[in-house]
Amino acid sequence: MYKLILTLLILTALLITCSSDKKEQKKVINDEWVSLFNGKNLDGWDLKISGYELNDNYKNTFQVENGVLKVSYDKYDKFNGEFGHIFYKDKFSSYKVRLEYRFTGEQVPGGPSWAYRNGGIMLHGQTAESMGKEQDFPVSIEMQLLGGDGEDKRPTGNLCTPGTNVVMSGKLITRHCIESKSKTYHGDQWVKTEVIVHGNQSITHIINGDTVLYYEKPQLDERDADAQKLIKDGNLMLSEGSISLQAESHPCEYRNIEILVLDD
């Protein structure tokens, strides 16, 4: 009887070990970054430029060249508020997204001063097709990407909130932009950017491997006219949404755009 019990215990332990190994193996196999941009064309992405219909790539603002997604103003004589965003086709809830960005050349004439070397990654956003024709920015959480002017301190990886609010240190933050603690990156250098998003729980901004900003409870701002159209049954919380990249009047390039979906 003792030998039978001992044998059963050993078999049970082996089964548990094998099961654990399989789970760990499955976790490792699924732990893969997936490219969102094929480096050849804009397949899988939707475009929305303020003042124009969905997928009207006005003056070829969004281009692909040498494996890079470019925001270009070489066909513009003057910028007249044509703020643009390029949206990946799917929605996401919990994930890591990473890319490299840089600013090049000169800002197009007519671009606002605050948009100098200014771009962004829009998270938990509305869909491109839900935006109004004249709407400048999607309701979303923005990881603002900035470049230096060669002299002044200008951190990147900041937070801006078009139609949204967040919680920081237990308090609701209604300011439109919050600076990160990142370094300033002058010139045309590539900057590595990563965002960790856990649904409605938390969002973390990372620049060149350094955590520069953290906040919680992304939510719609009921004071905002565009956000009001998205509120359902009084629920303000944002748990998922689109990912888009900005075009705000300064030439910009994005590359190595990848996502790792998390199982929360």
Helices and strands in the chain, H and E counts: 2, 17
- What are the residues whose beta carbons fall under 8 Å from the beta carbon of 227, sequence distance 6 or more? 139, 163, 164, 220, 221
Q: What is the pLDDT of residue 169?
A: 96
pLDDT value for 30 = 54
- The CA distance from 264 to 199, in Å, is 8
Write down the pLDDT at residue 31: 78
Look at phi and psi of residue 199 and say left if phi exceeds 0, alpha if psi is from -120 to 50, else beta: left
Give the CA radius of gyration of the chain: 22
For the chain, 264 residues long, give each residue's pLDDT as a single digit of tens.
Answer: 545 444 444 444 444 444 444 333 333 335 799 999 999 999 999 999 999 999 999 999 999 999 999 999 999 999 999 999 999 999 999 999 999 999 999 999 999 999 999 999 999 999 999 999 999 999 999 999 999 999 999 999 999 999 999 999 999 999 999 999 999 999 999 999 999 999 999 999 999 999 999 999 999 999 999 999 999 999 999 999 999 999 999 999 999 999 999 997
Alpha-carbon span 219 to 164, nearest angstrom: 6
H helix or E strand, kind and range, residue 233:
none
Distance in angstroms (rounded) separating the CA atoms of residues 70 and 57: 12
**Alpha-carbon span 128 to 140, nearest angstrom:** 11
φ/ψ (deg, to 5) at 8:
-60, -40
Are the CB atoms for 226 and 135 separated by under 8 Å?
yes
* DSSP code at position 126: P
User: In the numeric block, which tokens belong to residue 167?
Assistant: 């919680």
* pTM over cut 0.85: yes
* Of 28, 83, 25, 15, residue with least CA distance to 260: 28
Length of the chain: 264
- Extract the tokens encoding 146: 């900035």
- The string of DSSP letters for 195-230 reads EEEETTTEEEEEETTEEEEEEEEEEE-TTSHHHHTT
Alpha helices in 83-202 (DSSP H): none
